[in-house]
């Protein structure tokens, strides 16, 4: 099975410090990426999900007027009514984006980068992928207090958006599937100028069954 986009959603909470996505139906063996934004004085708890999967943090937390993080998990347990939760140790606004990758390798994470950018277009550094087939996840969240709009660039397709910066942390998740190794960056433009956190993470495709059998026969 080739790389593909599975479930994706966003959930926001304006004050309790805990947010949970609506339930979705996920696929066992797929890979889920969580992207989170909270306030500057808040401390993250590890994310959880209703199926008890293990989460790995991508890079380190990016701070500033807001703090963003990214995690991933290869789903050993999946199925219907699957929810994902982000929380902080004290009450405050939390925004949580979820994206499922189909056809990724169990050791899929290849490259990652995150920057704070104050100039449009808001862009991550370029990362050099090491495999021909990869799924790229882009994410931006903004230090902005009003209504915001986001557009993904550099060949990425925007997915789930939060626009109300008066109550929530605004932002957009995005993805791109590529079929050749190269240098890639995520890029976003905004409706209003704002300092933005910009992330990119790349994930390798699972080996084709025919390729595995061929490799085994050559040993």
Phi, psi of 129 (to 5 degrees): -75, 155
pLDDT at 209: 40
Buried b (16+ CB within 10 A) or exposed e, 9-24: bbbbbeeebebbbeeb
In eight-state DSSP terms, residue 1 is -
Question: Cα(158)–Cα(188) distance, rounded to whole angstroms?
Answer: 9
Question: Cα(130)–Cα(183) distance, rounded to whole angstroms?
Answer: 9
pLDDT at 1: 61
The whole model's pTM is what?
0.93
pLDDT at 195: 92
Pairing of strands 150-153, 183-184: unpaired
Positive or negative torsion for Cα 95, 40, 42, 75: positive
Q: What is the mean pLDDT of each run of 10 residues along the chain (219 residues)?
A: 93 96 97 96 96 97 95 97 97 97 91 95 96 97 90 98 95 98 98 94 81 39
């Amino acid at each position: 099975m080739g790389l593909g986009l599975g479930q994706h959603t966003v959930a926001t909470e304006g004050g309790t410090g805990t947010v949970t996505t609506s339930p979705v139906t996920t696929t066992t063996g797929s890979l889920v990426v969580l992207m989170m934004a909270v306030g500057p004085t808040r401390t993250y708890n590890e994310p959880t999900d209703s199926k008890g999967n293990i989460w790995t943090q991508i890079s380190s937390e990016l701070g500033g007027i807001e703090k963003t993080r990214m995690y991933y998990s290869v789903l050993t347990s999946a199925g219907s009514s699957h929810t994902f939760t982000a929380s902080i140790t004290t009450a405050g606004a939390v925004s949580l984006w979820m994206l499922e990758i189909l056809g990724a390798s169990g050791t899929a994470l290849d490259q990652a980068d995150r920057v704070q950018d104050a100039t449009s277009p808001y862009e991550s550094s370029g990362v050099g992928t090491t495999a021909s087939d990869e799924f790229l996840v882009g994410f931006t969240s903004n230090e902005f207090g009003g209504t915001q709009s986001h557009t993904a660039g550099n060949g990425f397709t925007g997915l789930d958006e939060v626009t109300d910066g008066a109550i929530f942390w605004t932002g957009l998740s995005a993805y791109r599937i590529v079929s050749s190794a190269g240098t890639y960056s995520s890029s976003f433009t905004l409706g209003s100028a704002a300092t933005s956190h910009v992330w990119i993470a790349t994930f390798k495709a699972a080996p084709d069954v025919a390729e595995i059998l061929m490799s085994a026969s050559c040993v």
